[in-house]
Chains A and B, each alone.
Chain A
């Protein structure tokens, strides 16, 4: 729980605006699948937002669509993605390559497989600098050493000559972060950056990311399924389910008063140190496969304890929409969780630990 986040949302025009983003996978001989549908959010400089949800909810596809990294074949992307006001959907490959690595960068989930095993770390850092910044090889090498030092890799000159398999997991992720930061991007997307790491290393990497946002004013999009990460880092949170955003709220609000039953279930399923020994965990029943299409009704309805007949389109006569739900909040639910006023604090910090 940092003071910086509590200071409120930074002002200024958003770095990234995503409007009504949809991604469909089309394969010949198979029905189209909608991976992401009608997703909208914005991130301002120095702000961190979280895209939260379980595997397959579309959060990673969203990030790849923003970066323009989805394969072109068999994929349809629609809607609008603007980086500093510049439309990226439909932009040509050369334009996107010019922006990627320079203005928007990404840190991936598995640092070992995300690094080229046959190329020294140094080359993998300097190649970004040489591509986007007007530097000589010597300058790039010096800058690479400075970057590794900045992300907390000891003895950077030696590490630059080493290969990924010679580094520890935490160091590899730091190296990837160094590459992502090398051109001081306006936007950084971190896709589950701590999932493959030990718990102690996770904390260090998150702390590093937090510092970098504070120092550089980079807009950060954290993609995660880990509510602990959200609690420690994000200013605003978008919860996704089956390709749609189902709840948006300020971090404190979300932890204190989750409205969507899915969000409530996620929070309730986090193990807590202060619960009595032997107390059972509270999972969300069913699995992500027990879903219906959003056209048929609320996709979470089959697993939802609050579900009623009018969660189905057939009964209600309309699909479930994302609607404003109090100041700064949005909600896609007909039967949300109700909360007595002000029972906050404890829940948020509990889930954060």
Chain B
């Protein structure tokens, strides 16, 4: 088990090296540059030259890359061109927000998706089934930013039931410990701050969780339909087990194997893919930071954030692979 984990972590090295090269090259291939973005379109060539000199952007690209690499191995990705603060600090401030959002979105998607998928399969061919199939098709098809705007407009702007922007009411002036706002509120016993942070999570989490929800419904449904026809379910029924036991131990347990793989992949995607949702809800997470940095040609922040997200993605997948072994003894790592 330990060797498996170590091997997977070692695989991170080539992944990150390759990604950093691509990232470095891609960013610099973008039209415009940080100087242009910072100084505006009418900046004189002299001003741009001075800017580039100041930030070392006039050096050959491989020199820039090696310098970057040398610092990056110490988790120093330089300072953000936009805010002037260390990229790592920015990341540590913003990642907790994205993690909170991802967790709530996944809880929403899993908590609703698995029961719905199961129900659709057991009522195969009924209106419950067809409704959930159509709804999940819509869920996958609807663009995230559109759904996010719709939710914000409806529930925040028009009805005013839920907050529609930010991670917490700024007037809260809550104490920060971990930057997980909900957790901080609980730790400092500032219950109203924690509750406010939860309310701020609801709409973005629904927007973000809709696609995973739709996917989980479909996978669960298909998987349950497969499993109920398995010989071992017939065996379980032939043993005269109670319906609840057959369902829990013999149907759901096996039906969740493919679902768990999907959830793992989705978790990785959500962590890095919340750009649109976070932007619509002005949610101060990693996604909206990347969005802003892209427009500012903030090379340092983009490089740092994308690489750190890649590390997280690989770690999440590692956790998923390990937990898969607990669910399915046939693939258990020796």
Instruction: Tell whether A pairs with B.
Output: yes
Instruction: Mark A residues whose CB is within 8 Å of B.
Output: 67, 69, 93, 96-102, 105-106, 108, 110, 113-120, 123, 127-128, 131-132, 163, 165, 176, 179
Instruction: Kindly report which residue of chain B lies nearest to residue A131, judged by CB atoms.
Output: B241
Smallest Cβ-Cβ distance to B250: which chain A residue: A116
B interface residues with partner A (beta carbon < 8 Å): 230-232, 234-243, 245, 249-250, 253-254, 257, 327-330
What are the residues of chain A within 8 A of B257 when measuring CB–CB? 118
A114–B229 alpha-carbon span in the complex (Å): 11
* Chain A to chain B: the 9 pairs with minimum beta-carbon distance, closest first: A101-B240, A100-B240, A101-B239, A113-B231, A116-B232, A163-B329, A114-B231, A106-B238, A97-B240
Query: B123: shortest Cβ distance to chain A, in Å?
Result: 11
**Contact (Cβ within 8 A) B242 A108:** no
Q: Give the complex CA separation of A126 and B237 in angstroms.
A: 15
Using Cβ atoms and an 8 Å threshold, which residues of chain A touch B327?
118
* Nearest A residue to B332, CB-CB: A163
The reply to whether A128 and B239 contact each other, CB–CB distance below 8 Å, is yes
Instruction: Kindly provide the distance from the CB of B221 to the nearest chain A CB, expressed in whole angstroms.
Output: 17
Contact of A100 with B250 at beta-carbon distance under 8 Å, contacts A113-B230, A165-B330 already known = no
**Shortest distance between the CB of A188 and any CB in chain B (Å):** 11
Residues of B within 8 A of A69 (CB): 234, 237-238
A127→B232 contact, CB < 8 A: no
Q: Which residues of B are found within 8 Å of A101, using beta-carbon distances?
A: 238-241
Asked, given contacts A117-B254, A128-B239, A131-B242, whether A108 binds B328 with beta carbons under 8 Å apart, the answer is no
**Shortest distance from the beta carbon of B184 to any chain A beta carbon, whole Å:** 39
Query: In the complex where A110-B231, A127-B245, A127-B249 touch, is A117 in contact with B238 (Cβ < 8 A)?
Result: no
By a CB distance below 8 angstroms, the chain A residues around B249 are 116, 119, 123, 127
CA–CA, A117 and B243, complex, Å: 19
In the complex, A278→B323 CA distance in Å?
Answer: 58
A contacts with B: majority SS: mixed
Interchain CA distance A53-B331 in the complex, whole Å: 39
Assembly CA distance A237 to B137 (angstroms) = 54
- For residue A132, which residues in chain B have a CB less than 8 angstroms away from its CB? 240
Contacts A118-B327, A119-B249, A165-B330; is A113 near B242 (CB within 8 Å)? no
Contact B330 A98 (CB under 8 A): no
Say yes or no: A116 contacts B236, CB within 8 Å: yes
In addition to A97-B240, A99-B240, A118-B327, 4 A-B residue pairs with Cβ atoms within 8 Å of each other are: A105-B238, A108-B234, A113-B230, A118-B254
- Please, how many angstroms separate the alpha-carbon atoms of A336 and B236 in the complex? 43
- Contact partners of B330 in chain A: CB under 8 A: 117-118, 163, 165
- Sample 25 A-B pairs with CB under 8 A, ordered by A number: A96-B240, A97-B237, A97-B240, A100-B237, A101-B238, A101-B240, A101-B241, A105-B239, A106-B238, A108-B235, A110-B231, A113-B232, A115-B232, A117-B254, A118-B330, A123-B249, A127-B239, A127-B241, A127-B245, A132-B240, A163-B330, A165-B329, A165-B330, A179-B235, A179-B239
- Which residue on B lies nearest to A113, using beta carbons? B231
Alpha-carbon distance A131/B237, docked complex (angstroms):
12
In the complex, what's the smallest C-beta–C-beta distance from A141 to chain B, in angstroms? 16
- Most chain-A Cβ atoms within 10 A of its Cβ — which of B232, B240, B254? B240
- Among A110, A119, A120, chain B packs the most CB atoms within 10 A around the CB of A119
Complex partner residue of B253 from A93, A98, A119, A131, CB under 8 angstroms? A119
* Closest CB in chain B relative to A143 CB, distance in Å: 15
Q: How far is the CA of A215 from the CA of B241 in the complex (A)?
A: 26
Whole-angstrom distance between the Cβ of B130 and the nearest chain A Cβ: 16
Most chain A CB neighbours (cut-off 10 Å) among B231, B249, B250: B231
What separation, in Å, do the CA atoms of A110 and B237 have in the docked complex? 16
Q: Are A114 and B239 in contact (CB under 8 A)?
A: no
